[in-house]
Amino acid sequence: MLQGWIQIALTLLIVVVITPFFGRYMARVFLGQRTFLDSVLHPLDQVILSLSGVRIQEGMTGWQYARAMLYSNLTMLVFIYLIFMLQGGLPFNPTGLTAPSWDLALHTAISFVTNTNQQHYSGETTYSYFSQFAALGFMMFTSAATGIAVAIAFIRGLTGRPLGNFYVDLIQSITRILLPISIVGAIVLMAAGIPETLAGPAIIPTLENPGISQAIARGPVAHYEIIKELGENGGGFFGINSAHPFENPNGFTNLIELVAILSIPTSLIITYGIFANNLKQAWLVYSIPFAILVIFIIITAIGEYQGNSAVNALLGSEAPNLEGKEVRFGWAQSALFAVFTTASMCGAVNSLHDSFMPTGGFVTLSNMFLQIVFGGQGTGTAYLFAYLILAVFVTGLMVGRTPEFLGRKIEKREVVLASFLILLVHPIAILIPSAMTLAFPEQLAGISNPGFHGLSQVIYEYASAAANNGSGFEGLGDATLWWNLSTSFSLLAGRYIPIVSLLLLADSMSRKQPVPATAGTLRTDTGLFTGVTAGVILILGALTFFPVLALGPVAEAFQILKGIG
């Protein structure tokens, strides 16, 4: 037990230690300051920008930034959809895979362009090597870079700067952040035992009967794996994702992947602090999701270590819940990975979330409902500050102070956009399709577990889609026309409506004239206000989604305590 807790503590310590260094580096990149990679990558940036016809100095308004993002994402969506449908005639297809069904290809394309990577397929038996690295791998870079670009534009707007140019931010996010780390990370993962090959499946005799052969899937996995985690993508090269020994063979690779998952979303908060010239506030804001993360890890880990009371009663002793887990990771690393991947909206898994205790189901669902612990690639940081704006407004009303943030007044437009973003879009994208699906459990849902757990399966799938997470309570029969199309709605609504709202909110803040602080100004860089913000986050999340949690994992937990489950 002690060893497991030490592993968890050391992983968290590594994440915290690298945060200020990475955050400062990203701030230098997007403030246009010199970095150690400039001499190598500046010519590459210039070539790409020159070929694309982008004017580097041309700034964009909120609507222009949003349109550029939407047009580019739509173009990439069509591009990768065509690759899927034509993969049977394209190269690097050693097993001769044909095109998937149109609805599965559409769902996959939407899922990857939205940085969700929700998979209703098994990677090694559905998509060729070419589709994996030219379509899916390509989108892992561009969708993650889109999120980072939006976060930087949002930070610029909050701090009174012009929003910048989407195309420049997109390219720099790839060339200065994602690509260099991915190259180094891929080399490290290859050295640690993850394959990187274009050779077909290995055909070898079985141990039980040398006369019978078996095919072992492999492929260009190492480079795919690092950007999967670093970009908070989550889609597995193989069907069982990071539980597969070719994606995550040992404790060292598991540590690399865990740190990569949280490195960018945690560091972006420090990047904000440098833009705002207020690192104190940045660290106070950082403490909110970090505290929630630690509490969620403790809840999940204790539940998995104690195991199922009904099973333990039959065994006559207490044993960890190891169902659906890889023995090489055990209860501690499985619980930590589950919390990290749903907190960050990465979606990669090294164990089966469907097999977790109800406390684990409660935590993973709560992470996707809140979206700020530490949230999606770039967008999680923006959501966090949208909550901050709501907290400023609410607190200002309560204590009679002027609602201001960074010297700019919070008025009706900002409150409406933040409220729309936090209180309406996310619940609609989850609860309405969930209600429709649960109304026809036999015809549409494909639930593999009865009762409360079955409800959690359905809610989890739509929460994962709307939050752009991508993980699932597997066991759900989701490879159907209904699931592919209905979750595509949640994918698109959960990605693009909030992003456009965030950009409009940032644009509105950037246009406001700063006002000098007075005795009536509410300070936002204090421990008291940070606590109020945390309360606003939890209250809004609880008010919106607690009934669902009560009918799902909470009810299931009481069922197990009564010895029914």
Q: Report the pLDDT averaged over residues 21-26.
A: 96
For residue 406, is it within any domain?
Answer: no
Residues 6+ apart with CB under 8 A from 548: 365, 431, 455, 459
For residue 404, is it within any domain?
Answer: no
For residue 321, is it within any domain?
Answer: no
* Residue pLDDT, tens place only, 37-57: 888 888 888 888 787 777 766
Q: Report the pLDDT averaged over residues 280-309.
A: 93
For residue 180, is it within any domain?
Answer: yes
pLDDT value of position 475: 75
* Domains of the chain: total: 1
pLDDT value of position 57: 67
Measured CA to CA, the distance from residue 386 to residue 379 in angstroms comes to: 10
Tokens of 75: 């173009």
Long-range contacts of 93-96 (CB under 8 A, 24+ apart): 93/128, 93/129, 93/130, 94/128, 94/129, 94/198, 94/199, 94/200, 94/201, 95/128, 95/200, 95/201
Mean pLDDT of the chain: 89
For residue 29, is it within any domain?
Answer: yes
For residue 530, is it within any domain?
Answer: no
- Residue 198: domain span: 16-202+217-277
Query: Which residue in 377, 481, 543 sits closest to 105, CA to CA?
Result: 481
Tokens of 132: 């994996």
For residue 363, is it within any domain?
Answer: no
For residue 187, is it within any domain?
Answer: yes
pLDDT value of position 564: 63
Q: What is the pTM of this model?
A: 0.94
CA dist 419 → 253, 313, 498 (Å): 40, 47, 11
* Residue pLDDT, tens place only, 119-171: 998 888 899 999 999 999 999 999 999 999 999 999 999 998 999 999 999 99
DSSP at 87: G
* Residue pLDDT, tens place only, 46-103: 888 787 777 766 789 999 999 999 999 999 999 999 999 999 999 999 989 999 999 9
DSSP at 563: T
pLDDT value of position 146: 96
Instruction: Name the more confident of 521 and 498.
Output: 498
